Structures are given as C-alpha cells and as structure tokens.
Chain A
Amino acid sequence: MSSKPRPPETRDDLRTFCETEIGAILDRLYGTALRLTRNQADAEDLVADTVVKALGNISRLQDRSCFHGWVFRILYNTFKSNCRRKSARPEDCISSLTGDATEADDTFWLFDKLHQPFLLWWGNYEQEFLDQLEIEDLCKAVDALPDNYRIVITLSDIEGFSYQEIADTLEIPVGTVRSRLARGRSMLQKSLWDYAQTVGLAPGHAKPQGDDLCVK
C-alpha cells in the first residue's frame, strides 16, 4: 500500500489545494450549514467563517485525505461556538447540542405503516410514497428534528460520515452516535408518516381503488 501524500508546502499550493477542495464540497457544506442553522443568512456566514478558519489552519493538516472530515469538523465547531455566543443562556444551548440521547422508544418504521402486502398486485404504497416525496418535504422533516438528532442524521444519512468520524466531529462516544441515530431516524420516519397521511399517501387515507393509488 502506498504511503499517503505529504501536504503541499508553499502558501500558493496550500491555497490552491484548499480552494479546489472547498469548491468540490461547497454545496454540501452549505447544505449542512442550512440544516444546522435553519436560516440562509446564518448558513452563509457559517460557511464563510469555516472557510476562513480552514484557510488559516490548512498548513496544520498533515493528511490531505482527511480534508473533508476536517472541514466539516471546523463547520460544526464554529456553529457550536456561534450558538454559545448568541444564546442568552449558553448553558441551555450547549446542553441541547451535547446532551445524551434518551433511550429509543420502540422504533417507528415507516415501511410497516405503508406496506400493504395484499395490494402488491396492483399498487405499492411505499414506492408511491418515495416517488412523490419532495426534497423540500424531506428537508422540512429533518429541520424539525431536535438539534442532537438533526446533526447526527445530517452527518450520517446526508453526508455519509462513519460513526467514528461523527463521534470525532461531535466529540461524543460512538455509542452515543448510535443511540442518537436510532432515535433520530425513528423520529424522522414518524414525521414522514404524518406527512404521508396529510398528503393522502398512507393506506386508509389514499383512495382505495387500484387506478387511483397514484395520488397527484
């Protein structure tokens, strides 16, 4: 196995490297910032602050292959410190970001609610639901989650980080990442179930005739 490349040495090289890497993930950085702040102006400020810090500290990053995780860690830490600074009661803010997950109740499975085996020959509620689920509705459901759960869902299910990377970023044990993910996913699926009922994509709420299963 070949050894990992050394970080670039000159300032120009560092800047070019940083610019290229940031450019490649800017949409995802912004997306994550939006999920964290739930506000476009704050999200833009958060990404800009993150880039400033990344540029200022890039020479300390020994392993370039870690850039993605490193810059998301900066983003999260900047968000956390902004949150502390802005909060009238910083201890509440910190608690909401770092407090332990409560034990998951019985896991809520959206599939169990949507799946109707006896309809398989002419309709399929779960596929219908996914076909019609709009990204904006998915974003709203994620945004509605409490901070602890929204952050791990964002880093895991949206950004694809491993449990260990999330634990490192949030400075929490891997076990806590697991429990927050389990609880957060359950809450998200419950929220999507509520949405399915509202828009008529749930069994018993959509029209029961085969040809009418496709709700527009």
Chain B
Amino acid sequence: MRKVKDISCEEAIRHLLEYLDSECEVHTHEEIDQHLSACQACYSRMEFEKRLRSQLRNSGEQAVPDSLKNRIDKLFSGGLKN
C-alpha cells in the first residue's frame, strides 16, 4: 500500500479550497486528509471555509416572485413551439 506523504500546513492551505471543491488530484486529497486529521489549526480553518461555503450556497436560494412564477406557468401552458 502506497504511503501518503506528510505535507506542511502551507501546502495544505495552498490546496485547501480545491480540496473542498473535490477538484484536487487523488494523492493531494489524501495528503490533505491526513494533514487535517493531525493538525487542529488547519482543521479549524477547513471547518471555517466549509461553513462559509455552505452559507454562500444557501444564499443562492432566492424566493421566486409571483410575477415570474406566473410568466413561467403561462409559458408551459402554451406548450412547445417550433
């Protein structure tokens, strides 16, 4: 089994946001996983970024105005036109 390389805090932080995006190389993801399990400071940072990301995601849910809902309903009741 391949040994996962130990990385520094700097290296973990450099890839942290891509790690949260699940856009790292597999080996980088494993290295950050291992680092986070041993480093409380980086783990706290990761939790902060994760929570901030989650709040950003929640901000995307906008109440749709009735005027737009009605327009969309009308479009669908009109059917397909080609």
Chain A residues engaging chain B, CB cutoff 8 angstroms:
11, 14-15, 18-19, 22, 26-28, 30-32, 34-35, 40, 44, 47-48, 51-52, 55-56, 58, 109-111, 114-115, 117, 126-127, 130, 133, 135, 138-139, 142, 153-154, 156-160, 162-163, 178, 181-182, 185
A162 partner, pick from B23, B60, B81, beta carbons under 8 A: B23
Q: In the complex the two chains form, is A47's CB within 8 Å of B55's CB?
A: no
B81 partner, pick from A56, A130, A182, beta carbons under 8 A: A56
Beyond A15-B79, A26-B64, A47-B68, whether A142 also contacts B21 by CB under 8 A is no
Supply 9 A–B pairs (Cβ within 8 Å), ascending by A.
A15-B80, A26-B69, A27-B61, A27-B64, A28-B60, A28-B61, A31-B59, A31-B62, A111-B45
Residues in chain B near residue A181, CB distance under 8 A: 17, 21
Q: In the complex the two chains form, is A133's CB within 8 Å of B55's CB?
A: yes
Q: How many residues of B contact A (CB 8 A)?
A: 35
Which positions 21-45 of chain B face chain A at CB distance < 8 Å? 21, 23, 41, 44-45
Give the nearest-CB partner of B76 in chain A.
Answer: A19
B60 partner, pick from A11, A114, A158, beta carbons under 8 A: A158
Q: In the complex the two chains form, is A158's CB within 8 Å of B64's CB?
A: no
Q: In the complex the two chains form, is B80's CB within 8 Å of A14's CB?
A: yes
> In the docked arrangement, what's the CA distance between A52 and B80, Å?
9
Residues in chain A near residue B64, CB distance under 8 A: 26-27, 30
Q: Is the interface of A mostly helix, strand, loop or mixed?
A: helix
B26 to chain A, nearest CB (A): 15
Residues in chain B near residue A182, CB distance under 8 A: 17
Beyond A115-B44, A130-B51, whether A44 also contacts B67 by CB under 8 A is yes
1/0 per position for B5-29, CB-CB distance to A under 8 A?
0000000010001100101000000
> In the docked arrangement, what's the CA distance between A31 and B51, Å?
20
Give the nearest-CB partner of B74 in chain A.
Answer: A48
A111 partner, pick from B18, B48, B63, B79, beta carbons under 8 A: B48
Give the nearest-CB partner of B56 in chain A.
Answer: A157
